[in-house]
Amino acid sequence: MNLEEKFLHVLLREGSISFGNFKLKSGRVSPYFVNLGKAMSRASSLREVSECYASKIERDFQLDEIDFIFGPAYKGIPLASSVALELLKRRGVDLRWGYNRKEVKKYGDLGESEIVGDLRAGDKVLVIDDVLTTGETKLESFSKLEDRGAKVIGLVVGVDREESFGGLKAREVLESRGIKVSSILGMRYILEYLRGREINGKTYLTEREYRRSISYLERRDL
């Protein structure tokens, strides 16, 4: 089983992928929903998820070019910490890591009022998150990091929804800013893999659901 299949099977087992009607933060109604949080709700499944992320990072990035791993609140926090530990175990690379606060801290150590962790000016930062949809929250994170003098070198997500906004996919927008974007899975891969396939006695995606999902995915006028 390759990396993509392993990760997808973890998501399916933990109920992280659903089909139906789901209203997204963007206001769109999507025929599918990815909730990576479900795959991080137990230590054993979080370990599997972090192993997949670490493998993807090893495949797509040079570890000696990374100083800091950043996980946007909230789901990025357990990802950043567990992936940092996994890379330490595998490669002996002792990377610093941190995350942002949703609300600015106004007491105590104000050096961590917005970003928690030993982030230093000039750091090359790899951002780790669960899902890529519009890219807006990612750009917000990048701006906060850049305001601290850091340089974002890449983004790794578990699933790229591969949706278009104003004719451009979120990945294209981020890459136009010089950010390398890496995803373990793309939504099209998930749909093609699950189409009519029975896994452990269950069919996750009927032909009707597949066609509806593909039609939604291919719209570039949203």
Average pLDDT, rounded, for the chain: 93
Structural domains for the chain: 3-218 (3.40.50.2020)
Question: pLDDT tens digit string along 167-209?
Answer: 889 999 999 999 999 999 999 999 999 999 999 888 999 999 9
pLDDT at residue 38 is higher than 50: yes
Q: What count of other Cβ atoms lies within 10 Å of the Cβ of residue 170?
A: 23
Dihedrals phi, psi of 168, to nearest 5 degrees: -120, 145
pLDDT of residue 112: 60
Question: pLDDT tens digit string along 143-152?
Answer: 999 999 999 9
pLDDT at residue 72 is higher than 80: yes
| Cβ atoms 56, 182 nearer than 8 A | yes
Length of the chain in residues, anyone?
A: 222
DSSP letter at 38 equals: G
| Cβ atoms 75, 130 nearer than 8 A | yes
Question: pLDDT tens digit string along 84-132?
Answer: 999 999 999 999 999 998 665 554 554 566 899 999 999 999 999 999 9
- Alpha-carbon span 139 to 173, nearest angstrom: 10
C-alpha 212: how far from chain center: 24
pLDDT of residue 176: 93
Question: pLDDT tens digit string along 5-14?
Answer: 999 999 999 9
